[in-house]
Chain A
Amino acid sequence: MNQNDEGLFLRLIRFDPPLLLGLLMVSGLGLFVLYSAGQQNLDLVWGQGMRLGLGFAIMLTLAQLPPRYFRLWSPWIYLVGILLLLAVMIVGDISKGAQRWLDLGVVRFQPSEIMKLAVPMMMGWFFAEKPLPPRWLHLLGGVLITAIPFILIAEQPDLGTALVVGSAGAFALFLAGLSWMIMLGLAVLTGGAIPLFWTFIMHDYQRQRVLTFLDPETDPLGTGYHIIQSKIAIGSGGIYGKGWLNGTQSHLDFLPEGSTDFIFAAFLEEFGLVGGCLLLTLYFFIIARALYMASRAPDTYTRLLAGSLTLIFFLYAFVNTGMVSGLLPVVGLPLPLFSYGGTSLVTIMAGFGILMSIYSHRRILTR
Chain B
Amino acid sequence: MFAKPVFPESLAREKDNTAESELFFRRALVMVLAVFLGLLAVASRLVYLQVLNHERFTTLADGNRIRVQPLLPTRGFIFDRNGVLLAENLASYHLEITREQIQDLDATLEELRQRIELADADVERFRKMVRRTPGYIGVPLRFGLTDEEIARLAIDLYRFPGVEIKADLTRRYPLGSLGVHAIGYVGRIDEGEMRRIDPGQYSGSTHIGKVGAERSHEDLLRGRTGWQQVETNAEGRPLRVLSRTPPTPGQHLYLSIDIRLQAVAEKALEGYNGAIVALDPRNGEILALASQPVYDPNPFVNGIDFASYRELNTSKDKPLLNRALRGMYPPGSTIKPLMALTGLEYGVINRYNGVFCRGFYQLPGSSHRFRDWKRSGHGSVSMDRAIAQSCDVYFYDLALKLGIDRTHQFLDQFSLGRPTGIDLPGEKGGVLPSQAWKRQSYNQNWFAGDTLSAGIGQGYFLATPLQLAHSTAAIAQRGVHFQPRILHASEDPGTRVKTLAEPQPLPPIKVRDPRFWDTIITGMVHVIEGGTAHKIGIGAKYRIAGKTGTAQVFTLGQSERYNAKRLAKHLLDHALFVAFAPVEDPRIAVAVIAEHGGGGSSTAAPIARKVMDAWLLNKYDALPEPLPAPDAAPHESE
Contact = CB atoms under 8 A, between A and B. Distances in A.
Nearest to B20: A132
Contacts of A135: 7, 10
Interface string B210-221: 000000000000
A327 B28 contact: no
B309 interface: no
A239 B35 contact: no
A237 B50 contact: yes
Q: How large is the interface on B (under 10, 10 to 19, 20 to 34, 35 or more residues)?
A: 35 or more
B66 A232 contact: yes
Interface residues of A, number: 65
B42 A327 contact: yes
A273 B14 contact: no
A331 to B, nearest CB: 15
B44 to A, nearest CB: 9
Contact of B199 (A222, A236, A307): A222
Contacts of B1: 181, 185
B134 interface: yes
A236 B7 contact: no
Contact of A222 (B17, B42, B200): B200
A221 B58 contact: no
Interface in A213-236: 219-222, 224-225, 228-229, 231-236
Given A131-B13, A322-B41, A175 B27 contact: yes
A280 B35 contact: no
A129 B15 contact: yes
Interface string B135-164: 011000000000000000000000000000
A318 interface: yes
Contacts of A291: 28, 31-32, 35
Nearest to B34: A314
Nearest to B229: A220
B68 A235 contact: no
Interface in A180-200: 181-182, 185
A164 interface: no
Interface in B61-80: 61-62, 65-66, 68, 70
Contacts of A314: 31, 35, 38
Contacts of B43: 276-277, 280
A105 interface: no
B17 A231 contact: no
Contacts of B24: 175, 177, 294-295, 303-304, 307
Contacts of A249: 61
A235 B227 contact: no
B27 A177 contact: yes
Q: Please give me the 10 A-B residue pairs with the lowest Cβ-Cβ distance, nearest first.
A: A235-B57, A222-B200, A236-B61, A221-B203, A221-B200, A235-B49, A220-B68, A131-B13, A273-B50, A236-B57
Interface of A: 129-133, 135-136, 171, 174-175, 177, 179, 181-182, 185, 212, 219-222, 224-225, 228-229, 231-239, 248-249, 253-254, 268, 272-273, 276-277, 280, 283-284, 287-288, 291-292, 294-295, 299-300, 303-304, 307, 311, 314, 317-318, 321-322, 325-327
Given A220-B229, A234-B49, A299-B17, 18 more contacts: A131-B10, A136-B5, A171-B31, A179-B7, A185-B2, A221-B203, A231-B57, A239-B51, A273-B46, A276-B46, A276-B50, A284-B35, A284-B36, A291-B31, A307-B27, A318-B35, A325-B49, A327-B42
8 contacts: A221-B70, A234-B50, A254-B61, A268-B46, A287-B32, A303-B20, A304-B24, A318-B42
